[in-house]
Structures are given as C-alpha cells and as structure tokens.
Chains A and B, each alone.
Chain A
Amino acid sequence: MTRYLYYPGCSMDASARAYQESLAAIAPVLGLDLAELDDWNCCGATEYFGLSRTPAYALVGRNLAIAADQADGTRTLVAPCSACFLNLARTDHAMAESPVLRRDVNASLEVGGFHYDPGAITVRHLLEVIMNEVGLARVSGAVSRPLTGLRVAPYLGCMVPRPDYASLWIRHEQPRDLDRLLATLGADVVDYPLTTECCGGHMAQISTELGFGLIRRLIVAAEARGADLMVAVCPMCQMNIDAFQGEMNRHFRTSHHMPILFFTQLMGLAFGQEPTRLGIGRELVDASRALARVGIEVPPPSEDELKAAQREEAHRRKQALPMPHLDDAPGAERQEVRR
C-alpha cells in the first residue's frame, strides 16, 4: 500500500457519492492508502476567486497547511475532483509566484494557527496518480471482468489537463490517458474529440442557453460516435451531464439518454466488484441498460433499502434547516438565519 494524503472535496459526500463509494472499493485493489485531511474545508470552487482575492487563496491555503501538517511519509495530496485539484494546485503555484500573496495568505492563516510554505505539498489529480503511479500494468492485472463491447466516450473535462501548472500533461487538448485506462479495462473506447471541452461548470445555474448548450454538445458528440455511456473524472462534469440532462432535454425539446459514470465505477466493474457497492444506480440517467449489454446486471434497490432511505430522509427533515439569507454586498451585516 502506498500512502497518499487525500482531499475529497464537498461533492464526494453529496452529488458525487458514487465517486466516493467506487473509489473506496477500488483503492485497496490499487494499493492506494488514502489518508483524508483532518477537518478540511471547501475549496471555494470557481466562486471565490472572482469575489475576493486574498480570502479565496486563504480558504484553500488552510487545506494545504493541514496537508503539510499531516504529511507523514508522503507529501503528495490527491484530489478526485478537478476543480478541487486545480484550486489546490493553483494556490500552491500562486503563493510560490507572488511574495505578496504568500505573505498575506500566511498572515491570515496564522490567525487560525496555520502556516503553508509553497512547494511543501505536491497536488495531483486521482486519474493522473492512477496512470503514473499505480500504472496500467497493475490495473490490467486486477481486471477480472473485461468490459468488452461497452462503448465508452472518455470525458476528461477542462481542469485536469489545463492549465497544468506542474507540466504533467504533454497534450493539453487531446490527452489520451483516460482512453488508455478505459481500454485497459477492456472497454471499446470511442474517438471522442470533445474530451477536454468544458461542461459549463456552474453555467447551468446561471445561463440556460450557454450551460445547456455546452451540455447538449457533449452528449450529441458522444451519441454520434455510438457511445453507450460517457465517463467522467470530475463531480461537476458528471453532475452537469447526468443531473441536468432532463432539464436540458426539456429546454431544447430533445430526448437524449446518455448515462455518465465515474471512471472509478468502471474500474470496479472491470475488477469484478458488485455494481451497488460502486454507487451504480445513483445516476439520474440510468446506466443499467448500457451495462446490461455487457452482461452486468444492476439489481433494483430492495424494499428494505428504500425504507431505510425514507427513514433517513424523515430523520433529516426533522433537523432544523438554516436557510441562508443573501447579503446585498460582501461584508454587509448578516441577518439571523431563519428556520
């Protein structure tokens, strides 16, 4: 087992639970010992850098400082989310490049008892660690149920190969790493020219014309090449293609049905693991038909599972819900939360 520091990011406990579940299932097979950062905070996604510079970097700096404190035998921090990965790498890079930012971020962190020296931690995305550290030979050796005949469109998205502060990617526009990984699993990898095009990020929540337009383009291109499903390496990409596909169809009066799974889910399937253990079935655009084509049966949730889920939901509903109030300006006096 090789130890890595692990920054899950907020989505892994929420919209991307299937990513977390499948990663937990395959990590031991790959020899990955992922040590989660203690009391990590949100990275700010793509929202904070446009609001205020120093606080945005300080928010991420706290995570880097925690990682440096927790570095024990490793100084590599792995992030499964592309946006989290980029923000961590971006902050490390910016603090190294700008002495003023380094001074201000550390002056802020010190108030909370933290400190970070840029370069102390190496930030890497999960896919890149699997490709370059675990290696395809080990992946190949673990495959017991090759995904032969499953036509997959490898969708890498933006923020892993770009801007690439550490110069890890030889090709920023058409990297073939995800293609090679999926081919190792036995899948039939379609030539997907939009592999590094943008899913729109938060745009589905801002501008339907732009956000849904980008989502549709990605789905149409995958369909045109006969893909049974798309494969994502990022919670945001998966969320956009999967969760917003229904509203996108409604918006454009189309009827696309393009499932999208995380690459870790396909790895688990190829390793012979049970679909439910890999979070398969959590997608809104059902992947079971596509998987049935290669002989993988996804059992529907049992009565007990449904009842347990309902009980859990009822319990959660009883808990008080603080509803945030939107301030008109940053720093404006905040109103009390309402129940």
Chain B
Amino acid sequence: MVVEHSGADAAPDSAFLEEVMGATAVPSRLDHCIQCGTCGGSCPSGPEMDHTPRQLFALIRAGRRDAVLSSNAPWMCVSCYYCVVRCPQAIQITDVMYALKTMATRAHAAGDRTASDFSRLFIWNVEHFGRSYEVGLVGPHYLRHHLGRLPGVAPMGIGLLAKGRIPLAPARIKGLAGLHAILARAAELEAAR
C-alpha cells in the first residue's frame, strides 16, 4: 500500500472520520484506534483484503475517502467478530465495516460488485417474500457473477434438491403489506438522518 503524504502543514481531514463514525448504529469508538494491528492479525480475510482493518482506519483518519470506499476490505469482512472481542480499544469494527459497505454502495465506489450484488439480491427476496429464498438468490447470482462455477455448483444444487433441502417455491409471510410499509418508513427515516 502506498500512502501519499499530503504535506506536514496540511491539517488531517477529520470530517470523513466523523462521517464514518456517524454511520454506525451504535457508537463505534473508531477514533480510539491505536494502530496496534490486532484486528488485521485476527482477521480470517486479512490476506484477501486490499487494506487490513488497521490500514483502513488509518486511511479514514487521513481523510482518504476514495481509497477507503473503493477498498474491498469491508466486502471481505465475514462478520466473525474476532477483531471485536480482541480489540484493546473496544472498537466495534464489524459495525464500521457494515457502515463502510453502505457508504461505498451509495457512492457507487465499490470495485468488484459480487458481494454488494449478493446482498442486494438477498434482500430483494426478503423484501418481496418476508423470508429468504435460495432459488431466487443463488440462480440469478451465479448467472451474473459465477457462470464459470456452474459445472462445479450444479451437483450441489441437484443434491440439495434431492435431499429436500431447497424448496422450489418461496415461503411468504402473511403480513407482507405491513412489512413493506415498515421497511419503506425505515428507508425514509434513514435517508433523513
């Protein structure tokens, strides 16, 4: 990773740090990071990340919005919470990663869209049926992002069908209209924050 120096007299841009801190649901304590690197060392995805969490947090403090929002790091986070229970500063790292995903999606900054498309498709099904729906998720996702994997994944799909583990039709909740109203109101309130 190359960190460009903006010059000794340039004040760090704290606005971006504040923006990220304002985007989590609970206080993240991100400004308490001491750059110890426990997070990156604990992370099962660390080797696949453009930046380890520690590097990402340094970039946030430096106001490097573009580098942060286009990093694949939040999308590689598997929400295992190892870093969270090990962080000596009790920073809610997983929540920060979720917030960065949201910010990157809104800014259309994410490079590889495999993970963000998967999330959107998953939630598309949930919003329409009230339940997750594997056929409606996995089918379109593999066609769009993993065509090359179809020969490898087909035996799994057939196996799961044969074992009665994939319902072909989606399960629907009764209160779907109410759920739609709840989520629409929540989206309005989120936009107003």
Contact = CB atoms under 8 A, between A and B. Distances in A.
A111 B24 CA distance: 24
B140 A39 contact: no
A158 B165 contact: no
Interface in A175-209: 197-198, 200-203, 205-209
Nearest to B104: A50
B136 A324 contact: yes
Contact of A54 (B44, B146, B179, B186): B186
Given A97-B27, A107-B189, A319 B169 contact: yes
Interface in B60-111: 74-76, 78-82, 84-85, 94-95, 97-99, 101-102, 105
B186 A105 contact: yes
A203 B115 CA distance: 8
Interface stretch (B3-11, B13-21, B33-41, B126-134): B126-134
A243 B183 CA distance: 32
Nearest to A18: B165
A261 to B, nearest CB: 13
A269 B102 CA distance: 45
Interface in A119-145: none
Contacts of B102: 50-53
A325 B127 CA distance: 13
Interface in A32-83: 39-42, 44-55, 57-59, 62
A53 B190 contact: yes
Contact of A322 (B24, B75, B136): B136
Contacts of B94: 163
A57 B174 contact: no
Contacts of B149: 208, 247
Interface residues of A, number: 86
A207 B76 contact: yes
A244 B156 contact: yes
Contacts of B117: 326
B182 A111 contact: yes
A257 interface: no
Interface in A231-252: 243-244, 246-247, 250-251
A323 B105 contact: no
A100 B135 CA distance: 37
A208 B193 CA distance: 37
A50 B101 contact: yes
Contact of A51 (B119, B132, B153, B166): B119
B106 to A, nearest CB: 9
Interface stretch (A9-17, A221-229, A288-296): A9-17
A205 to B, nearest CB: 6
A316 B169 CA distance: 7
A109 interface: yes
Contacts of A13: 167, 171
A94 interface: yes
A311 interface: no
A47 B122 contact: yes
27 contacts: A10-B171, A14-B134, A14-B167, A39-B174, A41-B126, A44-B123, A50-B74, A52-B102, A52-B190, A94-B26, A97-B26, A97-B27, A98-B26, A98-B27, A104-B186, A107-B189, A108-B183, A159-B80, A163-B84, A198-B80, A203-B78, A205-B146, A206-B114, A243-B160, A284-B156, A321-B135, A321-B168
Chain A to chain B: the 8 pairs with minimum beta-carbon distance, closest first: A50-B101, A112-B178, A162-B81, A198-B80, A108-B186, A54-B190, A158-B80, A58-B186
